[in-house]
Amino acid sequence: MKRALDLIVSAVGLGLMLPLFAVVALLIKLDSKGPVFFLQERIGRRFRPFRIYKFRTMVENAPSLGALLTCGKDPRITRVGRLLRKTKIDELPQLLNVLKGDMSLVGPRPEVRRYVDLFRKDYEEVLAVRPGITDPASLKYCDETDLLGFASDPEAEYIKHVLPDKLKLAKKYIHNSSFYADLSLILNTVLRMFVSNRPLPNYQSVVVARSDRPEGMQ
């Protein structure tokens, strides 16, 4: 049932979104030089690597110009890229990954090899299923870039706090997943794309509070 839903929605979605894809591609090319799509290796089901598709939101060769994570007002993000990230339109090409079988519409978000290796034991459980375009953690951390922008060390914040919480949510999703739960997550994700963003949570106070704790406290 889940794979059938993936195939139907991804095929129909790609067909309906072709005009949108054409407009986005034109805007990306007019805004900055470089390819329309950004491809990156992610680790999929049973630790099989695959190439994830996204619309390019950063300058050409961005990975070689800075950190692996993007946070705050990263200067590598283009003007069009900021809009695409805010609306999550940059993630829509992942329907191709769903159609190919690399991903599902709903499932734990796929990570890069570096972070999977750091939490390999957890990922043995999480990667028993196909990664997805959206999941509970995607909705909770929809403003992740802003959250990390308040941290003095964004990668440390991600490794110590954000990613462990994402893994916890992923395990909970796997244990309680259902067809209707997936439909609800898809609907909430679509609504998130078209409804104005809610006020930004007070991430700064959370991150500062963590940085004030004695060494060794989580």
Q: Report helix, strand or coil for 74.
A: coil
E strands present in 22-73: 37-43, 49-55
Q: What is the pLDDT of residue 206?
A: 46
Q: What is the pLDDT of residue 213?
A: 46
Q: Which two tokens stand for residue 98?
A: 């769903």
Q: What is the pLDDT of residue 209?
A: 46
Residue ranges in the chain modelled with pLDDT below 70: 196-218
List, in order, residues 6 or more apart from 40 with CB less than 8 Å away: 51, 52, 54, 112
E strands present in the chain: 37-43, 49-55, 104-106, 132-134
Q: What is the pLDDT of residue 79?
A: 95
Nearest-angstrom CA–CA distance, 13 and 30: 25
Nearest-angstrom CA–CA distance, 191 and 80: 21
Where are the chain's structural domains?
2-211
Inter-residue contact 40 to 52 (CB < 8 Å): yes
Strands 49-55 and 132-134: unpaired
Q: What is the pLDDT of residue 210?
A: 54
Q: CA geometry: angle at 110 spanning 109 and 111, to 5°?
A: 115
Calculate what percentage of the chain has a pLDDT beyond 70.
89
Q: Which two tokens stand for residue 72?
A: 């705050």
List pLDDT tens digits, range 82-112: 999 988 999 999 999 999 999 999 999 999 9
Residue of 185, 111, 132, 108 lying closest to 6 (CA atoms): 132
Q: What is the pLDDT of residue 199?
A: 44
Phi–psi pair at 41, nearest 5 degrees: -70, 130
Inter-residue contact 155 to 67 (CB < 8 Å): yes
Q: What is the pLDDT of residue 99?
A: 97
